[in-house]
Amino acid sequence: MAGADGALRCPWALSTEDYVAYHDEEWGRPVHGDDALFERLSLEAFQSGLSWITILRRRPGFRKAFADFRIAKVAAFTDEDRARLLLDEGIIRNRAKIDATLANARVLADWAPGALDELIWSHAPEPGPAPKTLADVPAVTPESTALSKALKKQGLRFVGPTTAYALMQACGLVDDHLETCVARRA
């Protein structure tokens, strides 16, 4: 669909300016680095059951609350930090998701540098044909199921196959921009 500027974009990206910017500048672009991937993984987990725009608009609050998603810093959060997060109106105050984020940071803090990046990117599928419509974009794939299992096996939480696929989309492991979308990689 054409946006206000006449450029063709994925239809989901046209409902708000926040989505247009996210779609054009971030979604589907390769993301590397353990902290950057931990942020995306955490935000995708918080999104579960909610709209992405809710998370996107609260991302500055999440970054402030979770020390810019620096794994070592979040892993060191105390019970007082957890209590603070549960009261922080700048984030989603879901106890299970907060606890999962803290637990995931503690697991990841013991990993060698680059290990999260390596694990996630090892599940990138071979590029396939560009989707023509949103109906051609899956919610789960064999690769996202395998990634979910690998993350869970390592002790990570809130990383089901659907969340894993959303992570793969957001971090550029797959390019699900529609065939005619201006943001699709060549």
Of residues 3 and 18, which shows the higher confidence score? 18
Q: What is the pTM of this model?
A: 0.95
Task: Return the closest-CA partner of residue 103 out of 71, 80, 58, 55.
Answer: 71
Give residues with Cβ within 8 angstroms of 113, minimum separation 6. 34
* Per-residue pLDDT tens over the stretch 157-171: 999 999 999 999 999
Q: Which residue in the list 12, 26, 52, 111 is annotated as catalytic?
A: 52
pLDDT of residue 141: 97
Whole-number mean pLDDT of the chain? 95
In the block, which residue shows the tokens 């013991």? 110
* Per-residue pLDDT tens over the stretch 131-184: 999 999 999 999 999 999 999 999 999 999 999 999 999 999 999 999 999 999
- 111 belongs to the catalytic site: no
Whole-number Å distance between alpha carbons of 147 and 47: 18
Q: Which residue in the list 19, 44, 143, 165 is annotated as catalytic?
A: 44
In the block, which residue shows the tokens 């353990």? 34
- 44 belongs to the catalytic site: yes
Q: Which residue in the list 22, 26, 111, 121 is annotated as catalytic?
A: 22
* Per-residue pLDDT tens over the stretch 70-90: 999 999 999 999 999 999 999
Of residues 4 and 124, which shows the higher confidence score? 124
- 19 belongs to the catalytic site: no
